């Protein structure tokens, strides 16, 4: 375990429909030597902790279960007269380095600024995640998918991969124990 991390003040919570975000949440927990991550639906909010929170992109925004949990965390922080800190890691089907990811990040940050005024987002990172086959099938049923979309779906199917897991672990360690400012 990293010596400068106070694990008592950290927790890991996630929302995941098809398992991608859960996979990264497990990486965050194990890289910080914390007990297994908890699901947003039944996790108690801990306004005094730094919450590593995993969400997924649902139609361009943070999924509803995630927003509901962060609202509960915000309410608990307000009640305690403090600001809760959250490090957000999200998964999305598209390219996390592309322009759409920037738009999603803006949308998520704006929603949280509006709905969770007692929440400080200390970091926000996105990773790519496989799009569930039934979602791809329902998209296909709606309209013909362009070659670019098909390529993107094919690329997403490889994620999160080992490289994503390694960068998630590195991110979590850096956020939990920032380098001293000198």
Please report whether residue 132 would count as binding ligand FMN according to CB under 6 A: yes
Of the candidate residues 135, 139, 169, 177, the single one contacting ligand FMN (CB under 6 A): 135
Among 5, 27, 28, 57, binds ligand FMN (CB under 6 A): 57
Residue 58 has a CB neighbour count (10 Å cut-off) of: 15
Closer residue to ligand FMN (CB): 31 or 66: 66
What are the E-state strand segments in the chain? 10-14, 38-39, 50-58, 61-62, 84-92, 119-128
d(CA 16, CA 39): 8
- Size of site (CB under 6 A) for ligand FMN: 21
Task: Look at the block and give the residue holding tokens 């998964």.
Answer: 91
User: 50: Cβ–Cβ under 8 A, 6 or more apart, which residues?
Assistant: 9, 10, 11, 85, 86, 87, 122, 175, 176
Residue of minimal Cβ distance to ligand FMN: 129
Residue 95 CB, nearest approach to ligand FMN (Å): 8
Instruction: Work out whether 118 is an interface residue with ligand FMN (CB under 6 A).
Output: no
Residues 4-23 that bind ligand FMN (CB under 6 A): 16-22
d(CA 171, CA 28): 9
Of 10, 14, 32, nearest in space to 24 by CA: 14
- Window contacting ligand FMN (CB under 6 A); options: 3-11, 28-36, 127-135, 142-150: 127-135
* Nearer residue to ligand FMN within complex by CB, 5 or 108: 108
* Contact positions vs ligand FMN (CB under 6 A): 16-22, 56-60, 91-94, 129-132, 135
């Amino acid at each position: 375990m990293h010596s400068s991390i106070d694990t008592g003040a950290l927790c890991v919570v996630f929302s995941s429909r098809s398992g991608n975000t859960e996979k990264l949440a497990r990486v965050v927990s194990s890289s910080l030597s914390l007990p297994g991550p908890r699901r947003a639906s039944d996790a108690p909010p801990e306004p005094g902790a730094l919450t590593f929170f995993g969400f997924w992109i649902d139609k361009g925004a943070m999924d509803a279960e995630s927003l509901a949990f962060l609202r509960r965390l915000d309410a608990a922080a307000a009640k305690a007269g403090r600001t809760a800190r959250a490090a957000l890691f999200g998964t999305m089907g598209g390219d996390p380095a592309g322009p759409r990811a920037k738009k999603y990040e803006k949308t998520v940050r704006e929603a949280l600024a509006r709905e969770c005024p007692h929440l400080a987002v200390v970091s926000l990172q996105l990773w790519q995640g496989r799009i569930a086959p039934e979602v791809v099938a329902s998209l296909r049923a709606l309209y013909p998918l362009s070659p670019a979309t098909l390529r993107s779906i094919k690329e997403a199917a490889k994620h999160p991969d080992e490289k994503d897991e390694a960068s998630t672990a590195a991110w979590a360690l850096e956020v939990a124990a920032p380098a001293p400012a000198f």
